[in-house]
Structure 1
Amino acid sequence: MTGQAQEYDFFPAHVVRTRRLGPTMLRVTFGGGALRSFASGGRDQSFSLFLPHPGQDEPDLPYAQGEGWFAAWRAIPADRRAVMRSYTVRAQRAEPPELDVDFALHGTATDDHPPADSPAGPAAAWAAAARPGARVVLLGPAVADNRSVAFRPPADTGFVLLLADETALPAAGGILEWLPAGTRALVWIEVPDAADIQDLPAPAGVDLTWLVRAPGTPSGLLPALRAAELPAGAPYAWIAGESGTVKELRRHLVRERGVDRRAVAFSGYWRRGASEDRLREEAYARPS
């Protein structure tokens, strides 16, 4: 890729191993020599993951066409073209070159864990069945300082707020590991099962609260934030998860707490009742 795409590149990779982290989360470790050039910026570094359909040995992706790859990819019939999903780098190691990616496995099942109530999407189903050697392609950063890192607190930040559901748990974990020593932070992470709670490394000064969402109940993130007494100082907030909940949390901070909207980084990782394919098609059809 050329021009603007110097910031990003395609990285063929394969599954090295998988490890179940809890009822909802599965860690897939990817490897391959191309990953030596994958330049993660840490924190909530996101990338696009391309997966094969069942019966395919590798993703059907015309990435050799450079900047024209997206139009060429969309021109491939939907039942053949690579499944594209957005994920976060949970960890990266140099030698051997490896990336850890945590998948939320809604609707999937293994021998040890029954399926959830909601149906599994293609990425969750692929991850649950992934075996060493399975081939994928990543579209990710070729430079560490890239636009796909959203967590960027200003130098004058007094304290940090992090609010995430299980889909944003890997990103929140990456941010907590990145936070400089002495950072004051209030963190709420919501998961669907108490067994999904993880031991996340974080510097002293981080107040981390786990919330467990009972099946069929609304998110508890907004009530938790409403009830919180925030410290003095200029806040920087990072919010990610289900888009409706993210909007409510941002609205509360900006309208009810008076937080500068420029100090709130927010991202809807998913929307209830809509697949990522549908959201992408909606965005593609929107006038520019």
Structure 2
Amino acid sequence: MKRIRRESIFNNVNVIVLSLLSLSTVVPLIHIVAKSLSGETYILAKEIWLWPKDFNFASYEYVLSYKQFYMSFWNSLIITVVGTAISMAVTVLAAFPLSRKNFPFKRGFMLFFVITMFFSGGLIPTYLVVKQLGLLNTLWSIMLPLALAPFNLILIRNYFLSLPEALEESAIMDGASNIRILTWIYLPLSLPTIATIAMFYAVGYWNSFFQAMMYITDRGLMPLQVFLMQIVTNSKTGDMTTGGVLSELTPESTTAAAIICVVFPILCVYPFIQKYFVKGVMLGAVKG
């Protein structure tokens, strides 16, 4: 009886703590949405909290009327889709041989990958490598240096290790090659983990900012995060002025609308992948 009571108290405390954590992430987003939909007078008077006043879409109309937004959106979409595809291909093709018992120097390769999680080549050497490869002012400069995340590699490798060996042995007896074993057995059984890791990569590419600031100077290749930075850091919206439109807007509402326009596309992907998150991470963490 006491044990049941303690478990009930523990569960209630968990619910309260998780609810507070959820509110701490949701409330700021709701506040930004309310500010982006509010009128100038109420924003300047600091009266906006969780509900818009003088409801209007003027800020969104302004942000979406700017041509640079669509160019940046297209660049971010290319970076996210192509970058995620490259990263998943590299990660899976690296994790599969590292999960095989007969793969030579497996421990040495794993040690190499783990070391890169704690130590990097440095900012200047990385920039020089990207420059020497001719990747400056190209979208490849964002995608290729981030192609492999060691943590994601370890998750997929650990899940491959957790699969029954009998499946692979039966496939070998049927004359299946390594590629066939990977594509016909391992990948179909790894969909939760694959979907989770793909989402990790996609969010990382969508939010890529520092690499774009370092390697890209062409405005035509500017991703959304850099576009957003330019709006946020310029309180008067600088060279984005388009006549008398700004007389009805404030920097706060314009910035809030830009933030929502940048965040909304990636948020739309979460409902389709969310069911794989917990299952995928737990499966990848079963066996080391």
TM-score with structure 2 length normalisation? 0.25
Give the number of the structure whose alpha-carbon radius of gyration is greater: 2
| Greater strand content | 1
TM-score normalized with structure 1 length: 0.25
Higher relative CO (Cα under 8 Å, sequence separation at least 6) belongs to: 2
